[in-house]
Structure 1
Amino acid sequence: MSGRVAVVGAGVSGLTGAYDLRRGLGDDAHIDVFTAESTPGGLLRAATVGGVSMDVGAEAFIVRRPEALDLVTELGLADQIVSPGGLRPAVWSDGRLHPLPAPALMGVPATADALGSLIDDDARRVIDTESDRPMDWTVGADVSVGEFVAERFGDAVVARSVDPMLGGVYSALARDLGVREAIPALAQALDAGAPSLTAAVARVTGRPAGSGPVFGALRGGYRMLVDSLIGAARPSVHTGVAVRGVRAAGRRFDLDADTSIDTTGYDAVLVAAPVWAAAELLTEVAAEAATGFGRVRAAGSAVVAVAVDGPTPEHSGVLVASDADLSLKAITLSSRKWPHLAGGDHAVLRASFGRLGQPVTADDADLVHRATADLGTVFDAAGLPAPTVVDATVQRWPAGLPHYGPGHLAAMASASAALPDGVAVAGSGYRGVGVPACIGTARDGAERLLRHVNALT
């Protein structure tokens, strides 16, 4: 087949879609990729700090999910996959470091003992007796993680275990996230008849987890994936081009774009922009879908990448309890977590800020100052001198992640079903955040468009 296809967005979703479209349409197809940014990559971005290049957007992918691993292997990058070292994260609460709760499901403990020193005896009794109390769960219900866990296990468990885990993934507190959205395995166990939260967590954590590392990254950073996708997809990449809308033109589509190139007569369009941007782009061609997409809120965040002199805590990172007294929400001790980043002149780390409803408003200099002060507090609690910062850079993501509140997945499925033939969406807003989820939606979107283009010929 050949054809003329547009991809709006040049992050991992858009570039994966372009790659699959090229494979399906062949060498003669014309594939335009548009991005308003100056470079492709979206949330895959690197910065050099203290002479070390490190990712300052998405950092790793789940190896046990097939999407990212399959794509990396297809592109010939499997030999570049690296795994974290053996250190585990710690949790910052009550002015000190605690072991990460285990066994637990996204911070929801299997037993009170899993929480160790994070809770007191009163909170421990609430968890120990949870299975003796009746539980009101409706099959198919979609409730708040924070509210449900707080009702069953208490507020301290949410603030000191669940919030730290989910906050790093979704940039939101547990009370703002749906159980079905953020911890689908838990919802499935409850739907299947688990009589208590304790029983549901035990069912999930008791399943065989497989062997080998959970997470992986690329030795050269995610830039390797971006470059490889562009090389394999061979699209015409148009940077600095803002697309304002998609219009139907008979059986084909036109783009309203800020460019002098021809953006008319596309056989199909893949919208791989953030879900709230997709809402604006699709208002004319898919009003019902656009309305659904437009209800999604954005959670902003910022990463301060830092190079320091001196020793760092012997953890892969630090997750901060939501009732703690620090400005940042997490620390990734990158030189400890990733062996390939160790051994340089300086240790490197990432300090993360921002959650849904808590925008990062400090200027860059103040943000670096806050990161430095909080690092000093954590290092002191670990028995280490305050780190000497030798280099730092700030990467802001004002609208980085979509809000996965209760009912989000059902709403996105309903909105996506209203898309016309020849239009597809892809990205983190539809079926999960993270690189594997983005790749999955992109491949499904490309398959949908290939069927449509095939029907046109």
Structure 2
Amino acid sequence: MNSTTPAAEAPSLPHVLVVGGGIAGLAAAARLAGADGSAARARVTLLEAGPTLGGKLRTGEVGGVAVDLGAESMLARRPEAVTLARAVGLADALEPPTTAKAAIWTRGALRPMPTGHLMGVPGDLDALAASGVLSPEGLARAAEDETLPRTEVGQDIAVGEYVAARLGREVVDRLVEPLLGGVYAGNADRISLSAAVPQLLAIAQRDRSAIEGVRAALSAAAKAASSKSANPAPVFMGIDGGIGRLPVAVAEACGKAGVTVRTDTPVGSLRRTADGWTASLPGGEALAADAVVLAVPANVAARLLAPHAPRAAAELGEVEYAGMALVTLAFRRSDVGALQGSGFLVPPVDGRSIKASTFSSNKWGWLDRSAPDTFVLRTSLGRHGEEAVLDHDDADLIERSLIDLRAAAGITARPYAHTVTRWRGGLPQYPVGHPERVARIEAEVAALPGLALCGAAYHGVGIPACIGSAWRAVDLVTEALRAGETMSA
């Protein structure tokens, strides 16, 4: 597929090539072309190797009901995603969750997520005890945090290592692990505290007790929120019709702003020239540009950068990814009873097949309104190091999900429709040392005028973080172009 809209900007504007059509690439193209309400900075060509745009933001349907088949929500207290959604005409479609009351399926029962925590690290031992998530022995060990000597963490440490030292292994296994798994599909004993939970790293470096530090941080955040508004903004936000509408709306805005969009167009290589960059495309085509934004997975960026920034390419080649499968099920609402809350997380230590389930029809009002007689839920399977489950066929993944749903929530009915979506290499991993690795990559790439990187592999895997990285990349190439730097400089 080759979809091209004639560029409408003045010929004097520089030409920027954006490689990658996920949300980061689309956000970069929109910012460059002024499709997000900003001033146009360049003529833009966006190249996507696959047949569709949007990356891991994708809508589909199950049993005739529109659903998200990838990310389903975006952090609202970080502004980039909400700002972009409003800029491309989705302001009236933004919608907070109907309920955010999640549970943890552990120790043989669905137990309420304890209140007053920061990525599973409690600030309220009474709330933790009331939840029933930990055993009496686990609670007693967690309480020792308030009397233990300081844990030295230096500039970084694995999340699991720090939390286990302060509060014991049960807190890691039954609280931190499932929460981190929902974001990174990774392992708490490898994930960087600095990269994944920087607020907790600051607490670890400043406070002796993790519990006291979390309690103080949550109290300060609550006071700040109440001082700004009587109705604090929701933590997360969805979109009526699905988060997958966001890339579609951004792409439409880009088209109106004159962006040339080409799908099924992988970039074979990049060549530096005296005037900028030239990309080799299928069929021997060469496409010249004044600057390039790479919004692609780390391995693709490594291949394209290898001739120009070999050390950065080597570092990018070491970035690991986790894969996961999403099983989306549509039930007759009358068959599933009164399920409560937004769903549940599953600690890997409990040995279940699924790692989470979202009760989508409870969580999102737009789903309930559009299909009141249907109950949509989804499960996720697989995480870093356990991607073999993705090779199981659809029927097996569905059956595994139904077995766990029956044990956890008492669902005995069978769905009338289903779909399975596999995201192989979907989530980059942020191990200890990730921020330093990214700094080294960006330092070497900075020596290549008119080229910048963005996407989930660098400064955050969430939608706002990806958009923010795209905007930073646009600023970098814009500054280089304004300075009149050329590849021969």
TM class by smaller structure? over 0.9
1:430 lines up with 2:430 in the alignment: no
2:265 to 241, 245, 252: 241
1:2-81 to 2 correspondence within 5 Å? 2-23=13-34, 26=40, 29-81=42-94
The residue number in structure 1 matching 2:416 is 390
The residue number in structure 1 matching 2:317 is 294
The residue number in structure 2 matching 1:375 is 405
Query: Displacement of 1:388 after TM fit?
Result: 2.1
TM-aligned CA distance change 1:377 to 1:315, over 3 Å: same
Give the length in aligned residue pairs: 449
2:143 to 124, 128, 132: 128
The residue number in structure 1 matching 2:8 is none
Residues of 2 paired with 1:312 and 1:266: CA distance? 57
Residues of 2 paired with 1:71 and 1:231: CA distance? 13
Task: Show structure 2 runs of 5+ residues with no match.
Answer: 1-11, 226-231
CA contact (8 A) 1:379 1:387 kept: no
1:284 lines up with 2:307 in the alignment: yes
Equivalent position SS for 2:426: strand
Query: Displacement of 1:81 after TM fit?
Result: 0.2
CA contact (8 A) 2:59 2:245 kept: no
Residues of 2 paired with 1:133 and 1:188: CA distance? 18
Name the aligned partner's letter for residue 244 of structure 2.
R
CA contact (8 A) 1:144 1:406 kept: yes
The residue number in structure 2 matching 1:361 is 391
1:172 to 154, 161, 186: 186
TM-aligned CA distance change 1:208 to 1:332, over 3 Å: same
Residues of 2 paired with 1:138 and 1:429: CA distance? 24
TM-aligned CA distance change 1:367 to 1:431, over 3 Å: same
Superposition TM-score, scaled by structure 2 size: 0.88
Task: Show structure 1 runs of 5+ residues with no match.
Answer: none
Equivalent position SS for 2:208: coil
Q: Percent identity?
A: 36
Q: Which runs of 4+ in 1 moved over 3 A?
A: 24-27, 259-262
Equivalent position SS for 1:389: coil
Name the aligned partner's letter for residue 239 of structure 1.
T
The residue number in structure 2 matching 1:146 is 160
The residue number in structure 1 matching 2:204 is 190
Residues of 2 paired with 1:261 and 1:291: CA distance? 28
CA contact (8 A) 2:121 2:210 kept: no
The residue number in structure 2 matching 1:111 is 124
CA contact (8 A) 2:193 2:432 kept: yes
The residue number in structure 2 matching 1:347 is 375
CA contact (8 A) 1:81 1:219 kept: yes
Equivalent position SS for 1:328: coil
Equivalent position SS for 2:322: strand
Equivalent position SS for 1:129: helix
TM-aligned CA distance change 1:438 to 1:318, over 3 Å: same
Query: Displacement of 1:312 after TM fit?
Result: 5.1
RMSD between aligned residues: 1.8
Name the aligned partner's letter for residue 448 of structure 1.
L
Moved more, 62-71 or 243-252: 243-252
CA contact (8 A) 1:25 1:450 kept: no
Residues of 2 paired with 1:37 and 1:275: CA distance? 16
Residues of 1 paired with 2:27 and 2:125: CA distance? 43
1:324 lines up with 2:377 in the alignment: no
CA contact (8 A) 1:20 1:233 kept: no
Superposition TM-score, scaled by structure 1 size: 0.94
Equivalent position SS for 1:206: helix
